[in-house]
Amino acid sequence: MEVWVEFTGIAKAITKNQRVSRSVQNGTTCVDIIKILAQDYPGLVGIIINQEGTGLLNSNVVILNGEDMVLPDKMDQKLAEGDRLTLLSVIVGGDHLPLPTDY
Protein backbone atom coordinates (compact mmCIF):
# COMPACT_ATOMS: atom_id res chain seq x y z
CA MET A 1 0.00 0.00 0.00
CA GLU A 2 1.06 3.61 -0.38
CA VAL A 3 1.12 6.28 2.33
CA TRP A 4 2.17 9.91 2.07
CA VAL A 5 4.29 11.98 4.42
CA GLU A 6 4.13 15.77 4.33
CA PHE A 7 6.89 17.88 5.85
CA THR A 8 6.47 21.36 7.28
CA GLY A 9 8.85 23.88 8.83
CA ILE A 10 12.22 22.55 9.91
CA ALA A 11 11.43 19.01 8.66
CA LYS A 12 10.78 20.42 5.19
CA ALA A 13 14.08 22.31 5.30
CA ILE A 14 16.01 19.23 6.44
CA THR A 15 14.48 16.80 3.95
CA LYS A 16 14.29 19.32 1.12
CA ASN A 17 10.89 17.83 0.35
CA GLN A 18 7.36 18.96 0.92
CA ARG A 19 5.79 15.57 0.35
CA VAL A 20 6.98 12.00 -0.23
CA SER A 21 5.23 8.69 -0.70
CA ARG A 22 6.30 5.35 0.67
CA SER A 23 5.19 1.89 -0.42
CA VAL A 24 4.68 -0.13 2.75
CA GLN A 25 3.08 -3.40 3.78
CA ASN A 26 -0.42 -3.69 5.19
CA GLY A 27 -0.26 -3.35 8.95
CA THR A 28 2.34 -0.56 8.85
CA THR A 29 2.02 1.80 11.82
CA CYS A 30 2.96 5.42 12.47
CA VAL A 31 6.00 4.14 14.41
CA ASP A 32 7.07 2.15 11.35
CA ILE A 33 6.89 5.32 9.25
CA ILE A 34 8.96 7.22 11.83
CA LYS A 35 11.59 4.46 11.62
CA ILE A 36 11.62 4.71 7.82
CA LEU A 37 11.98 8.50 7.99
CA ALA A 38 14.86 8.19 10.47
CA GLN A 39 16.67 5.92 8.00
CA ASP A 40 15.84 7.95 4.90
CA TYR A 41 16.50 11.34 6.48
CA PRO A 42 19.09 11.00 9.28
CA GLY A 43 19.11 14.79 9.65
CA LEU A 44 15.70 14.52 11.34
CA VAL A 45 17.16 12.40 14.15
CA GLY A 46 17.88 14.48 17.22
CA ILE A 47 15.80 17.39 15.94
CA ILE A 48 12.40 15.89 15.09
CA ILE A 49 12.87 12.16 15.73
CA ASN A 50 14.34 10.68 18.91
CA GLN A 51 17.85 9.18 18.89
CA GLU A 52 16.47 5.64 18.74
CA GLY A 53 14.52 6.50 15.59
CA THR A 54 11.31 5.15 17.11
CA GLY A 55 9.33 8.26 18.04
CA LEU A 56 9.16 12.02 17.97
CA LEU A 57 10.89 14.44 20.29
CA ASN A 58 8.75 16.79 22.38
CA SER A 59 7.10 19.63 20.47
CA ASN A 60 6.73 17.48 17.35
CA VAL A 61 3.48 15.87 16.28
CA VAL A 62 2.01 13.80 13.50
CA ILE A 63 -1.34 14.74 11.99
CA LEU A 64 -3.26 11.95 10.25
CA ASN A 65 -5.13 12.93 7.09
CA GLY A 66 -5.16 16.60 8.05
CA GLU A 67 -7.60 15.99 10.88
CA ASP A 68 -6.37 14.01 13.86
CA MET A 69 -3.25 14.46 15.93
CA VAL A 70 -1.68 11.05 16.57
CA LEU A 71 -0.91 11.04 20.29
CA PRO A 72 2.24 9.23 21.48
CA ASP A 73 0.22 6.34 22.91
CA LYS A 74 -1.57 5.90 19.55
CA MET A 75 1.54 5.74 17.33
CA ASP A 76 1.05 1.99 16.96
CA GLN A 77 -2.22 2.40 15.07
CA LYS A 78 -2.27 0.77 11.65
CA LEU A 79 -2.34 2.95 8.57
CA ALA A 80 -4.59 2.51 5.55
CA GLU A 81 -3.96 2.86 1.83
CA GLY A 82 -3.54 6.51 0.90
CA ASP A 83 -3.21 7.80 4.46
CA ARG A 84 -1.40 11.13 4.75
CA LEU A 85 0.85 11.90 7.70
CA THR A 86 1.92 15.48 8.28
CA LEU A 87 4.98 16.10 10.44
CA LEU A 88 4.59 19.30 12.45
CA SER A 89 7.27 20.84 14.61
CA VAL A 90 6.57 23.54 17.14
CA ILE A 91 9.86 25.34 17.63
CA VAL A 92 9.94 27.70 20.56
CA GLY A 93 12.58 30.02 21.88
CA GLY A 94 14.48 32.97 20.56
CA ASP A 95 15.40 36.26 22.10
CA HIS A 96 14.01 36.87 25.53
CA LEU A 97 13.15 40.47 24.87
CA PRO A 98 10.37 42.15 26.80
CA LEU A 99 7.09 42.59 24.98
CA PRO A 100 6.39 46.14 23.83
CA THR A 101 3.94 47.98 26.03
CA ASP A 102 2.57 50.25 23.31
CA TYR A 103 0.63 47.73 21.22
What domains appear along the chain, each with residue ranges and CATH number? 2-89 (3.10.20.30)
Q: List, as one string, the DSSP characters of 4-67.
A: EEEE-HHHHHHHT-SEEEEE--TT-BHHHHHHHHHHH-GGGBTTTB-TTSSSBPTTEEEEETTT
pLDDT of the residue at 57: 92
- Tens digits of pLDDT across the chain (103 residues): 999 999 999 999 999 999 999 999 999 999 999 999 999 999 999 999 999 999 999 889 999 999 999 988 899 999 999 999 999 987 655 555 555 554 4
pTM: 0.84
